[in-house]
């Protein structure tokens, strides 16, 4: 966890393309990337290989979403001239580094990774755990180090991944020379995780509590109408709670006028402010935010050739960079670099 | 297990470069490759990545032996114009296919692989098992299928590897189309495993019971002198046993005159044939076999540039072939093939 305040940093971030992105991604990460791209070199990896680690038997769930995620990126304001968007499966160095790192990480070490442990439980794997899923922290370490990223924006649930990456950096550097791989630090989002419409701490498409970046006016209206507030706030005149009240959490996340939100909170807490008024304010703010994103997204997704062109160009740049790291690692290990 | 009798087969074979090759490799595999290269396209993979799966912390043990193994190959008569010798770490498609296959193979399936189970025991891994070692059967399946090999010469301890490869072929073809990957069959060596000088069923450098292909005259003499015979054969006139008698197993493996060996066995069994005479016959035959191999090997190992040039050329050919397979698999899964 650190501040980004020098100019020499390199940022790697990305997403598993298992569905179009939603407002949770926007608040937790996309918005930050749009800002960061003006300050530091930033690579954005569409992690299709990682998406396949728990979708090995339904690859269409991943491959059909690659360009959807591309469209999301560009629609929210990620600029290909400032950020390099690239595709994981197009970068052989990432697979090759994973193979090399797998030899210095024990099975018991990856099994001990808290993030992996939790996800195994959540996804209901037990004996049917794919090997690819077990080793994905190693693959993620390959991604981060291949780009030479020293700043990795993540959620706090991903901190064990950064720890494991730095362990690999330490071991590989001991084998190949201290300057081979760069240590990395997590950059935590200033805003916590955005709760789902229903109040669940995790927003996800599969839980049905997400609002996608391409949501229509009607969908936005319906989501806000259905939004979980304070179940004890029965009459407008009653004092209401703002803790766990999704409308206020979302107002904090999206409303540009923080003074106004502070006033509304105070009013709601002392009683006299109805849920409907608060929801209208939130809806107006979301409609304003999402209308241009939806419009841009619609145009973008209809021009797949351009999206693929941008992805190809970014992947070529990323290929050049990651091949350099691979060559340094191979040379460090004494492996011939033949072509 | 099958006979090689049509012209459309493609053979993949190879070695982990963890030491110079010895007579066990010669009898079990190298001799067969020299014959097969005249009959079928044959790729020989120097499996440095696989060598690293249990040498992750001592890569020099692997990388220093790549050209040693190359020299062994050429010295025994493998011809680069007939066989394609290539380096595993130079072929990104092998790592990329491994990553894709890992998603359709469960951890419990690789843990159940009898070959891996045995090796884990033998090598004394327990909690310290490297992830790369656990998944090496998947990496081997990537090797075999990337080359489109349908015939794989292996020892009988490797049959579970072939079974696992065909399971992967079956699953991937179900996902990507029936013609994507080729099924393979094991080709068992006509000669069983050559026992060590000491009578141990397994010959290995680490057990100190091996005779390397570069053995000097003196080393050959000493190995044969020390060779385990029939401990009950105390006087020349006593009847001797040939079962478990390493001298006769080696005579079977190396002596060109099978009639003569049959006569010697009968003589030994009825009594009157001394160990010394048998050992002299074996030594003469080994000196004759190994003298030219040793000479050629000495010249080869002094010209590393040529060895590396041959390896590079073979790897380039193999790269082209394996990239084609990777592209077919990726297209079958729906992944973009961008460059």
Let me know whether A295 and A308 are in one domain.
Answer: no
Q: Tell me whether residue A205 is in a domain.
A: no
Which ipTM was obtained for this model? 0.94
Q: Which two tokens stand for residue B217?
A: 């005259």
Q: Tell me whether residue A164 is in a domain.
A: yes
What is the average pLDDT value for chain B, to the nearest integer?
94
Q: Mutation test of the interface with chain B: which of A107, A137, A309, A311, choosing the one with the most B Cβ atoms within 10 A?
A: A107
pLDDT at A127 over 90: no
* A338 contact residues in B (CB cutoff 8 A): 87, 90, 308, 311-312, 315-316
Let me know whether B320 and B287 are in one domain.
Answer: no
Residue B142 DSSP code:
H
Is A63 in contact with B98 (Cβ distance < 8 A)?
no
Q: Is the distance from CB of A209 to CB of A20 less than 8 angstroms?
A: no
Q: Tell me whether residue A203 is in a domain.
A: no
Let me know whether A233 and A85 are in one domain.
Answer: no
Q: Tell me whether residue B136 is in a domain.
A: yes
Over residues B138-155, mean pLDDT: 96
Let me know whether A171 and A318 are in one domain.
Answer: yes
Is B175 in contact with A57 (Cβ distance < 8 A)?
yes
Q: Tell me whether residue A199 is in a domain.
A: no
- Provide the CATH number for the domain around residue B280: 1.10.240.10
Predicted local confidence at residue A119, as pLDDT: 86
Give the largest Cα separation in chain A, rounded. Answer: 76
Q: Is the distance from CB of A290 to CB of A213 less than 8 angstroms?
A: yes
Let me know whether A131 and A241 are in one domain.
Answer: no
Q: Tell me whether residue B124 is in a domain.
A: yes
Q: Tell me whether residue B338 is in a domain.
A: no
The whole-angstrom separation of Cα B233 and Cα B237 is: 9
* A65 contact residues in B (CB cutoff 8 A): none
Let me know whether A182 and A95 are in one domain.
Answer: yes
Is B338 in contact with A90 (Cβ distance < 8 A)?
yes
**Cβ-nearest to A103 among B130, B315, B316:** B130
Over residues B204-215, mean pLDDT: 91
- Residues written for chain A: 339
Q: Tell me whether residue A24 is in a domain.
A: yes
- Provide the CATH number for the domain around residue A176: 3.40.50.620
Predicted local confidence at residue B7, as pLDDT: 54
Domain limits for position B175? 11-194+304-333
Q: Does A235 touch chain B (CB under 8 A)?
A: no
Q: Is the distance from CB of A47 to CB of A88 less than 8 angstroms?
A: yes
Angle formed by the axes of helices A246-254 and A258-270, nearest 10°: 160
The residue ranking higher by pLDDT, B188 or B224, is: B224
Let me know whether B149 and B109 are in one domain.
Answer: yes
How does pLDDT run across A92-116, given as a tens digit for each residue?
A: 999 999 999 999 999 999 989 998 8
* B56 contact residues in A (CB cutoff 8 A): 103-104
Let me know whether B177 and B102 are in one domain.
Answer: yes
How does pLDDT run across B301-328, given as a tens digit for each residue?
A: 999 999 999 999 999 999 999 999 999 9
pLDDT at A87 over 60: yes
Let me know whether A286 and A254 are in one domain.
Answer: yes
Q: Does B191 touch chain A (CB under 8 A)?
A: no
Instruction: Indicate the pLDDT class of residue A1, thresholds 50, 70 and 90.
Output: very low
Question: How many of the other CB atoms lie within 10 Å of CB of B231?
Answer: 10
Task: Work out how many domains chain B is built from and give that number.
Answer: 2
Let me know whether B83 and B229 are in one domain.
Answer: no
How does pLDDT run across B76-96, given as a tens digit for each residue?
A: 999 999 999 999 999 999 999
Instruction: Indicate the pLDDT class of residue B178, thresholds 50, 70 and 90.
Output: confident
Is B108 in contact with A128 (Cβ distance < 8 A)?
yes
Is B334 in contact with A59 (Cβ distance < 8 A)?
yes
What is the average pLDDT value for chain A, to the nearest integer?
94
Let me know whether A289 and A309 are in one domain.
Answer: no
Let me know whether B225 and B95 are in one domain.
Answer: no
Predicted local confidence at residue B2, as pLDDT: 47
Q: Does A120 touch chain B (CB under 8 A)?
A: no
CA dihedral A93, A97, A99, A101 (to 10 degrees): -170
């Amino acid at each position: 966890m650190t501040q980004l305040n020098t100019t020499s940093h390199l940022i790697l971030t990305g997403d598993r393309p298992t569905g179009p992105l939603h407002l949770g991604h926007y608040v937790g990460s996309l918005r930050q990337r749009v800002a960061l791209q003006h300050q530091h070199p930033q690579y954005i990896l569409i992690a299709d290989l990682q998406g396949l680690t728990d979708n090995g038997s339904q690859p269409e769930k991943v491959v059909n979403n690659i360009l959807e995620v591309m469209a999301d990126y560009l629609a929210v304001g990620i600029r290909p001239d400032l950020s390099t968007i690239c595709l994981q499966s197009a970068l052989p160095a990432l697979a090759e580094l994973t193979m090399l790192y797998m030899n210095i990480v024990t099975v018991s070490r990856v099994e001990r990774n808290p993030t992996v442990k939790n996800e195994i439980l959540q996804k209901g794997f037990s004996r049917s755990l794919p090997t690819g899923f077990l080793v994905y922290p190693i693959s993620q370490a390959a991604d981060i180090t291949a780009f030479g990223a020293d700043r990795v924006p993540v959620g706090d649930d991903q901190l064990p991944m950064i720890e494991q990456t730095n362990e690999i950096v330490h071991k590989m550097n001991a084998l190949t020379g201290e300057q081979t791989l760069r240590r990395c630090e997590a950059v935590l989002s200033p805003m916590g995780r955005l709760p789902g419409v229903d109040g669940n701490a995790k927003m996800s498409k599969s839980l049905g509590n997400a609002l996608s970046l391409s949501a229509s006016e009607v969908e936005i209206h319906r989501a806000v109408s259905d939004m979980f507030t304070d179940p004890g706030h029965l009459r407008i005149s009653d004092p209401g709670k703002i803790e766990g009240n999704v409308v206020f959490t979302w107002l904090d996340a999206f409303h540009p006028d923080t003074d106004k939100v502070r006033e509304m909170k105070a009013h709601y807490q002392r009683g006299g402010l109805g849920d409907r008024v608060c929801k209208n304010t939130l809806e107006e703010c979301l409609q304003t935010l999402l209308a241009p994103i939806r419009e841009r997204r619609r145009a973008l997704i209809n021009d797949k050739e351009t999206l693929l062109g941008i992805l190809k160009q970014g992947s070529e740049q990323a290929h050049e960079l990651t091949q350099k790291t691979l060559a340094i690692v191979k040379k460090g290990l004494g492996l011939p670099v033949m072509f």
